[in-house]
Chain A
């Protein structure tokens, strides 16, 4: 498209469907549905050391890691590492609050990105993804509770 090249940002469907089909988050989603999901997201790449999410800044998004590694950093302290198949950004989007952490690419990072305002319709339209995400959150909560006790 010659003026605004939004078409050029369309993700390469087949390769991405194959990739995310292996992620726990999408384990229950049939193929045709995965194609629609992939089209909702934009693919983004980040150089080593680049900030993906910024602590305290409004308007963040939901990210799923396709390749690479990211660190969650709060007030300069690294708290966790995330890798292929992991996701982040959902807490600030769900709560409508700014992120409480920076997320940094620790090596070249490739993600699927969904803008915050598209997150609710995405989950409502895909209840099996919502269920898997709830499971992941339950695991995180259990780990946090164990750490506290």
Chain B
């Protein structure tokens, strides 16, 4: 039960935000900036979300560079700082680098947690902590339908519900692992695995993170899953095991004692003394195996804790239970329910060249949250965005500057875009940053959408989409080897397109 002085007592609010991790904090901060009254409730005792506990080995995968080619606190600096949330003014901007001890450019978990707590304090994000969301209903009122959000503190009502509760519920697939393994979330301190034989189910980052941490302790480590391991340095995206955790893989290929197997789990048998015999069916054409272990750990991921939302009609996809979402992170089946933070991965975007957005990480989700808040403000509360006018002459420099410095375009490549719409009175209107899928599929007046994209080759390059007479055409600009995006080629492309849109 929250204290009597806690903010947001149960009752009716224009918007209810659930969560207190980075996603919820950024949505709340951005809604406040737009003047949208809302309540924030969270089951946790303090800000931080999953970072209050994980990563298990206490250091992040996402970097913040204290010294970077852009001035700390500037918009351009956000390209190099993947962990700070987006404040409008100091002291709520670029908080993370000021909290790091200089031993690594990957913040430690406590440093990240401190960063989020500081953002909530400095950004004046109020949260009713210790208030757990337990059930959801849709009810008809005199002025239309609203959601009833049942919590441990009482019932909240709102027409708009934003869930930013993380992809945080440990998941172990049905089958033998369910009975005989423990989940990543329940792993014991590393030293308790000293001289033990450990099987890790899963060959993604969490599996390799555990293997990295257990390298100095375990007698034998085997990582297994049906498909081949992917490394981020090969995929040249955040898909795959990050460089930080590749050491067990090198140990495997150099024959050091770690084994990485392509196989599915057939069965696990537990002997009276606790030893586990694991039968593996090879998926690479090799002979089946029966191996003995002392511990089996499932690094099989997390799912979204959506409670009763599926029964309410929220469609989800796959076992990950990510809700199917519009490009603006709204449930496609229950309008009025939006998703912030990592659950926003359900709005997948174009995924050109198989490259996903970074919505599962703070440096992607923080921009989604800002766009989401603006969308809610506009569509539910009539807060119309400013649409500054740009003369035809000013547009190439403006778009060139955005390509060079806009962190939204850099971090959410091929997912968020800067949009300019033809002004009937001449020139164009700056329609801000929007989801690219929305811009391409909605139709409408002549427009340009500028973003950065990668094709999995390691190159990052500008792409300008034009919509002229309703027809969408893609214009990719030649990559620059130093990853400069405001190039002669890009200016030439923009100039040509502006001439066609504004003539």
Say which one of A37-45, A80-88, A140-148 lies at the interface with B: A37-45
User: CB < 8 Å: which of A3, A5, A10, A35 contacts B319?
Assistant: A10
Whether the pair A58, B317 counts as a contact (CB closer than 8 A) is no
Whether the pair B226, A38 counts as a contact (CB closer than 8 A) is yes
Whether the pair B320, A3 counts as a contact (CB closer than 8 A) is no
- In the complex with contacts A1-B209, A38-B226, A6-B353 CB distance below 8 A: no
User: CB < 8 Å: which of B302, B304, B333 contacts A1?
Assistant: B302
Q: Which of A85-112 contact B (CB under 8 A)?
A: 98, 108, 110
Contact with A along B289-324 (1 / 0, CB 8 A): 000000000011111100000000001011110101
A32 to B350, CA, bound (A): 31
User: CB < 8 Å: which of A4, A10, A40, A116 contacts B300?
Assistant: A10
Inter-chain contacts of A15 with B (CB < 8 A): 319
- In the complex with contacts A1-B301, A1-B302, A108-B315, A117-B239 CB distance below 8 A: no
Inter-chain contacts of A6 with B (CB < 8 A): 204-205, 238-239, 301, 360
Contact with A along B412-453 (1 / 0, CB 8 A): 001000000000000000000000010011000000000001
Q: Which of A13-61 contact B (CB under 8 A)?
A: 13-15, 32-33, 35-36, 38-40, 43-47, 50-51, 54, 56-61
Inter-chain contacts of B206 with A (CB < 8 A): 1-2, 7
Q: Does A11 contact B (CB under 8 A)?
A: yes
User: CB < 8 Å: which of B262, B302, B474 contacts A57?
Assistant: B474
Inter-chain contacts of A4 with B (CB < 8 A): 61, 205, 238, 358, 360-361
Inter-chain contacts of B326 with A (CB < 8 A): 47
Q: Give the residue among A3, A45, A114 with the most B Cβ atoms within 10 A.
A: A3
Whether the pair B226, A43 counts as a contact (CB closer than 8 A) is no
Contact with B along A51-73 (1 / 0, CB 8 A): 10010111111000000000000
Tell me what chain B mostly uses at the interface: helix, strand, loop, or mixed: loop
Whether the pair A3, B55 counts as a contact (CB closer than 8 A) is yes
User: CB < 8 Å: which of A13, A36, A47, A113 contacts B332?
Assistant: A47
A15 to B174, CA, bound (A): 10
Whether the pair A35, B302 counts as a contact (CB closer than 8 A) is no
Q: Does A135 contact B (CB under 8 A)?
A: no
Listed in ascending order, the chain B residues whose CB lies under 8 Å from chain A are 50-51, 53-55, 60-62, 167, 171, 173-175, 184, 202, 204-206, 209, 225-227, 238-239, 262-264, 281-284, 299-304, 315, 317-320, 322, 324, 326, 332-333, 342, 345, 348, 350-355, 358, 360-361, 414, 437, 440-441, 453, 455-456, 472-474, 476
Task: Provide a sorted-by-A list of 8 A–B residue pairs whose CB atoms are within 8 angstroms.
Answer: A3-B62, A5-B345, A36-B283, A39-B227, A58-B474, A114-B354, A117-B354, A117-B456
Besides A7-B299, A11-B319, A36-B226, 10 other A-B contacts (C-beta < 8 A): A2-B50, A2-B54, A2-B206, A3-B60, A5-B302, A5-B360, A10-B300, A47-B332, A51-B437, A54-B472
Rank and list the top 5 A-B pairs by shortest CB-CB distance, nearest first.
A115-B354, A7-B301, A59-B352, A12-B319, A36-B283
